[in-house]
Structure 1
Amino acid sequence: MAPSDAPAYEPFVIALFDEIDPGGSTVVYGDDPQIWEWLVRAEPIAPGRESVKIPIPGTHARAHVTIWAPRNDKAQHLTRVPGTMRVHPSLVELELGSAETLDFRAAYARLLRAIPHDRVFEGTW
């Protein structure tokens, strides 16, 4: 495959922080452009409705997306796919430890330096 034919390498990070249980915080890494586009795409929700269920790419599961936090809802479903409670098959869960430790902060800071700023999603559990 010629270099120009190679798919673009587009790394991203999804970090969900748990303020009540810092050990429950989750950081995942991915580089699948379809997954990133799905995460950041706006979802149409019919007037008068508060949520919509949409298919999660690469799975048989559906995400429950609300009008209040649609991207956060999607991120939660990617890090724990409904029906499996596992990370999406295209993503890698990073074991960085508890979010309240210096080791976590140092590892997360190094990760953020390696990923373009606009390719990092941070949310909450």
Structure 2
Amino acid sequence: MIRTTLTAVALATSPLTTPVIASDNTTSCSQKPVVMVVDGVTNDPQQMAIYGQALKESGLHQNAGSYYLNDPRPLRILEGNRDQNHVTLLINFPSECAAIDFWNSPVYRQKIKPLRKNAGDYTIELYRLL
């Protein structure tokens, strides 16, 4: 699974670094670029479309200096099996701080994020760029 592979790569390149849960990282963050990985299965594509439109209209990505790096649906599966509703979205952020600010912003937390409730099952992680 991609999530496992990315975790293995992150651990292999930073063996002394322990992953930090976002809620535990309230006092410090890095100014180095990161990629947010959204990985999971979409259960309600119509609701996710509403979420995506609201996120686009909010301007949160523009304000954070972040942008999408890929189409979340695979172009081709070279190995393994995937549910047709499985997505992996990569979002570039100029810094870990920008990603955390985006994630914790009142607009995202109170207005945007609730729109995807029960629309899918996702894991959302930050990775350092090499």
TM-score by length of 2: 0.27
- Of Structure 1 and Structure 2, which has the larger fraction of its residues in helix? 2
Higher relative contact order (CA 8 A, sep 6+): 2
